[in-house]
Amino acid sequence: MKQVIFNVGGALASYLEYDNKKILIDIGSCNSFNPITDFLVPLSEKRSAKTNNKFNIDQLIISHPHNDHLSTIEDFDKYFTADLVTCPNDNPGQEEKHKVKWSLVDNPSEEYVTYLRDSILPGRKPPLKPTNPINQFLYYIPPKECEGNNDLDGKNYTNNLSVAFYFRINGYKLFMPGDLMKDGMEYLIKHESSLRSKLAEGVDILVTPHHGLKSSFSTYLFDHIKDKKTRCLNIVPEQSTSEDSNRIVDSRYSSTEYCMGINNFSTRESVVCQKKTSTGHIYIDYNKSSYPVIEVINNDKELIKRFAN
Ligand SMILES: [Zn+2]
Ligand SMILES: [Zn+2]
């Protein structure tokens, strides 16, 4: 029961193993790190032989079709197959309101989106579903509604397509809402009573929506989380930025008002509520029952070892 949220600059990529499942959640990359070729391929080679020339994982999740969440899609396809692909799509066999309108996606003809549409999605059968309905839950706004209405700004279309995941891992609760914008987060929580009841059970680890940017901080989300704060840690998948950048992480994620800081970094003197991926890959071991053991790992080989053991 382990997870890593990779240091991929301003992008997002995460890999999770639990319940005998191997799950990739977004596959963005940066110049210095590719989660497929620098991590998953060497890890898979250490562990097992390929079947039919490719390695297999249980689920590939692409929360929404933005470059920073899918830029290694060709590398993935070269080395891996996934039993389940979970990504907003327009595949036949589902209601029109659930189909993505590709013309509204930012850069619809961009290389990675094209590859996703031409080589990954065809033949996959809707609806989007979890690998295990007991401990994995997914929520999304029907794409038709993301096009815009009184509550949703049409210019947030692509980010608001994000499929949000709630995982139960060894009693811990992990929430990963992709790049949902503030309006999308509120809309989804308002319209999905089952998400509301999950949030009311609590959130231990939050991977902050839309890279933790100020513009996406949702007090509505925290108002619906048990105790109005996360229990263990807020993880911000971001790029280190200068003061005057418009990509500024919201400082509230590091405040005890929004997280209890129950983790191995916190001491009596100082409570740690937030970790940023710009400091290194963030590795979480969920096996302990009192709190998850979290490490910041900068050495790629060391990270592979944690999973290979
Ligand atoms: Zn993003
Ligand atoms: Zn996005």
User: What does the angle CA 206 – CA 28 – CA 39 come to, to the nearest 5 degrees?
Assistant: 95
pTM (two decimals): 0.97
Quote the ligand 2 centre to 216 CA distance (angstroms). 11
**Rounded mean pLDDT of the chain?**
95
Quote the ligand 1 centre to 66 CA distance (angstroms). 6
Q: For the beta carbon of residue 166, count every other beta carbon within 10 angstroms.
A: 21
Quote the ligand 1 centre to 26 CA distance (angstroms). 9
Quote the ligand 1 centre to 212 CA distance (angstroms). 10
Quote the ligand 1 centre to 184 CA distance (angstroms). 14
Complete DSSP assignment for 231-255: SSEEEE------TT-S-PBPGGGGS
Q: Which ligand is nearest to the CA of 107?
A: 2
Q: Which ligand is nearest to the CA of 180?
A: 2
247-284: per-residue pLDDT in tens? 789 999 999 999 999 999 999 999 999 999 999 999 99
41-68: per-residue pLDDT in tens? 999 999 876 667 899 999 999 999 999 9
